[in-house]
Amino acid sequence: MEKIVFVVPDMAGGGTERVISLLANEYVKRQIPTAILSFAGNQQAYELDSRVETVSAGAASGGSIKIRLKRLAFMRKYFKENNGCNIFSFSTIGTGFIVLSTLFMKRKMLVSERTDPQSCDHKPYRDFFYGFADVLVCQTQDAVACFSDKLQKKACVIGNPVDDAVPQRYDGERTHRITTAGRLEPVKNHRMLIQAFEEFVKEFPDYTLDIYGRGSLETELKQLAVEKGLLDKVIFHGFSSNVKEEIRDSSMFILSSNYEGISNSMVEALAMGIPVIATDCPIGGSKTYIQDGVNGFLVPTDDAQAMSNAMKKVASNVKLSEKISLNAVKIRKECSVTEIADQMLRAAGMR
């Protein structure tokens, strides 16, 4: 079986890295030689099967031309040694490095777009290098529509896998905790979530807002919680590799993003049967998985009042919460790792 090489900046904790780790582990179980080539670091936040080869082309460049040239030289040497491998690029910038490092070499490349294509700051760069791909994998049909007709012709839609190890639905009395998990960065809009919680907690004072993740806005968000008088109500847990177990019995899970590819944490929360409230953000990842009022709730982006109202709806209606939970867990079968791994192989022409 031909080798698969995933290319990503680093394997630090994040949704893209999580998907790669699940797929890589699945492929080596099938006896498919699999490697992960990181070009800007050597971290590994998620557990990998010992059969998965991990390679680092160097640290982050910090804008250094010298480091980037060394990176290209390393990657070219690696791809020569692994001639004929199937390259799965999970990075816009990385796709450019792949193309440059494989000049005049036979190349088979699948590119996976991991976020909202409209949010890209370097569209001409991206579209030029994506043009060298054999197939472009997008997470939703809305994402496909963002590209040129030329790129759309080589595009397909594949969602995110749900880890088989995701805890089963909690069947007891749920704790009065509202949870969220994601990088503490502007795009995730935790500020709006804290504002919504401020309004919600006036009617439901026994609830807490538990935030998992780390990022550049941590200090600012903690200060906001203090300013809102929520110091004992908004709890920052930082990054946790065991977050799924920690949130399993929560009353609801919130996705407050301004835009998103497909949120792994949202999909996993659905798979665990946690009532989910998500912003209906571009590129349609939330609405792809959530049917409003059936297996979760959708609210407009950056609308604290709408978010608060949805939170109140879940907290005040146990029967509705239970119905939402039972419908949500059906996603486990539809998005199993086995199914998504098969779809990737078909897209790459490997089966």
How many CB atoms neighbour CB 349 within 10 A?
12
pLDDT exceeds 90 at position 264 = no
Q: Are 314 and 128 in contact (CB under 8 A)?
A: no
pLDDT exceeds 90 at position 343 = yes
Q: Are 77 and 92 in contact (CB under 8 A)?
A: no
Q: What is the pLDDT of residue 116?
A: 85
Q: Are 141 and 284 in contact (CB under 8 A)?
A: yes
Tally of helices (H runs) and strands (E runs) in the chain: 15, 13
Cα-flanking dihedrals φ and ψ of residue 312, to 5°? -65, -40
Structure confidence at residue 260 as a pLDDT band (50, 70, 90): confident
Span 153-177, mean pLDDT?
94
pLDDT exceeds 90 at position 294 = yes
Q: What is the pLDDT of residue 118?
A: 87
Question: What amino acid occupies position 70?
Answer: K
Structure confidence at residue 283 as a pLDDT band (50, 70, 90): confident
Q: What is the pLDDT of residues 195-248, one digit of tens each?
A: 999 999 999 999 999 999 999 999 999 999 999 999 899 999 998 888 999 999
Q: What is the pLDDT of residue 115?
A: 84
Q: What is the pLDDT of residue 119?
A: 85
Q: Are 206 and 176 in contact (CB under 8 A)?
A: yes
Q: What is the pLDDT of residues 72-127, one digit of tens each?
A: 999 999 999 999 999 999 999 999 999 999 999 999 999 999 888 988 888 999 99
Q: What is the pLDDT of residue 112?
A: 97
Residue 269, CB-side half-sphere exposure with 13 Å CA sphere: 32
293: left (phi over 0), alpha (psi -120 to 50) or beta: left
Q: How many residues does the chain have?
A: 351
Q: What is the pLDDT of residue 12?
A: 86
Domains of the chain: 4-161+336-347 (3.40.50.2000), 175-334 (3.40.50.2000)
Q: What is the pLDDT of residue 44?
A: 87
Cα–Cα distance, 129 to 131 (Å, whole number):
5
How many CB atoms neighbour CB 216 within 10 A?
10
Span 154-180, mean pLDDT?
94
